[in-house]
Amino acid sequence: MNYLSHVGKYFLMLSQVFRRPQRGRVFKEALLREMDELGLKSLGIIMFISFFIGGVIALQTALNIDSPFIPQYLIGFATKRSIILEFAPTFCSIILAGKVGSYITSSIGTMRVTEQIDALEVMGINSINHLVFPKVLATVFFYPFLIVLAMFLGILGGWVAGVTSGIFSHVDFLYGVQLQFDPFLVKYALIKTLVFAFLIATVPSYHGYYVKGGSIAVGKASTQSVVWTIILIVIANYFLTQMLLT
C-alpha cells in the first residue's frame, strides 16, 4: 500500500511539473543553470569512465577469444555493440543517477527543510513546476549528447587499448567497428537515454520534494533516491529492450 501511495504521489507531482512556466525569463535562466549543473558538470566523469571502460571491454574481449577460428575484427565489433547497446545508455545513466540524482535530492530536500519551498509557495509560485521542470528539460535535452559522446569515447578507448597494448590489431579493431553498422541501434540507445534521463530528473526530485525532517532525512532521501532511480532504470531497460529489439 505504501509503495502504491508513493506511485500515486509521484504521478500527482508529474501533473504539476508539466505546466506552463509562470515567467519565461526566470525559466530560461533556471534551464541554463540546470544544463550546466546536471549536464556540463557531468561531462568529465562520463568522458573519463567511457574511455577507460571502452578500453577494458576491448581488452577483455580480446583476452577471452584467443581461438584462431575467431577473426580479430570481432573484438572491435563486440566492443562497439556492447558500448552502443548497453554501456553508454544504461551504465552511464546509472552513473548519472548516482551523481546527479543525489545532487537533485539533496538540493531540493535542503530547500524543503530550510523552508525555501514554503517561501516559493507563499509567493504564489508553483514550486514543483519551478524546481523540477527545468531539471527534466535539461536532462532530456542534454543527456543524449552526453551518451553519444560516451559511445564515441568508449570505442576510442578500445582502439587506444589495442594500439598501446598490442594484444589485438587496431586495424582489425577499426574494421570490426565499421562492420554491419546498424543506425537503429544508436536510435534504440537514444530512446533508452531519453527515458532514463526523465527518471534521473523526476525520481530524485520526488524524494527531495517530499522529504520531512532535517539534514539526516535529506541524506537518507538522497540514498533512497539513487537506489530507486537505479532500480527503475534497470526495469525500464529490460522492458525497452524487449519492446524495441525483439
Partner 1 sequence: MIEVNNLHKGFNDVQVLKGITTTFEPGKTSLIIGQSGSGKTVFLKSLIGLHTPEQGTISYDGKLNIDFTLEQKREWRQEIGMVFQGSALFDSQTVQENVMFPLKMFTKQPEDEMLDRVNFVLKRVDLENSNFKLPAELSGGMQKRVAIARAIVMNPKYLFCDEPNSGLDPNTAILIDNLVQEITHEYQITTVINTHDMNSVMEIGEKIVFLKDGVKAWEGTKDDIFKTDNESVVKFVYSSKLFKKVREAYLNETK
With respect to partner 1, which residue has the nearer C-beta, 93 or 205? 205
Per-residue string for binding with partner 1, 189-218, x by CB under 8 A? ------------------------------
Pairwise CA distance, residues 244 & 11, whole Å: 25
With respect to partner 1, which residue has the nearer C-beta, 83 or 100? 100
Pairwise CA distance, residues 64 & 36, whole Å: 41
Shortest CB 65 distance to partner 1, Å: 51
Q: Does 43 bind partner 1 (CB under 8 A)?
A: no
Pairwise CA distance, residues 182 & 186, whole Å: 8
How far is residue 148 CA from its own chain's centroid? 12
Per-residue string for binding with partner 1, 113-132, x by CB under 8 A? -xxx-xx-xxxxx-------
Cα separations (Å) of 170 from 50, 83, 194?
18, 17, 33
With respect to partner 1, which residue has the nearer C-beta, 64 or 114? 114
Could you tell me the three cell numbers for 174?
A: 577499426
Q: Give the residue from 66, 78, 63, 37 showing the smallest Cα distance to 200.
A: 37
Instruction: Return the number of other C-beta atoms located less than 10 Å from residue 169's C-beta.
Output: 17
One residue of 9, 12, 19, 26 binding partner 1 per CB under 8 A: 26
Q: Give the residue from 98, 101, 94, 92 showing the smallest Cα distance to 46.
A: 92
Cβ atoms 233, 97 nearer than 8 A: yes
Shortest CB 97 distance to partner 1, Å: 22
One residue of 8, 12, 18, 22 binding partner 1 per CB under 8 A: 22
| Size of site (CB under 8 A) for partner 1 | 16
With respect to partner 1, which residue has the nearer C-beta, 124 or 166? 124
With respect to partner 1, which residue has the nearer C-beta, 103 or 173? 103
Where along the sequence are the contacts to partner 1 (CB under 8 A)? 22-23, 25-26, 110-111, 114-116, 118-119, 121-125
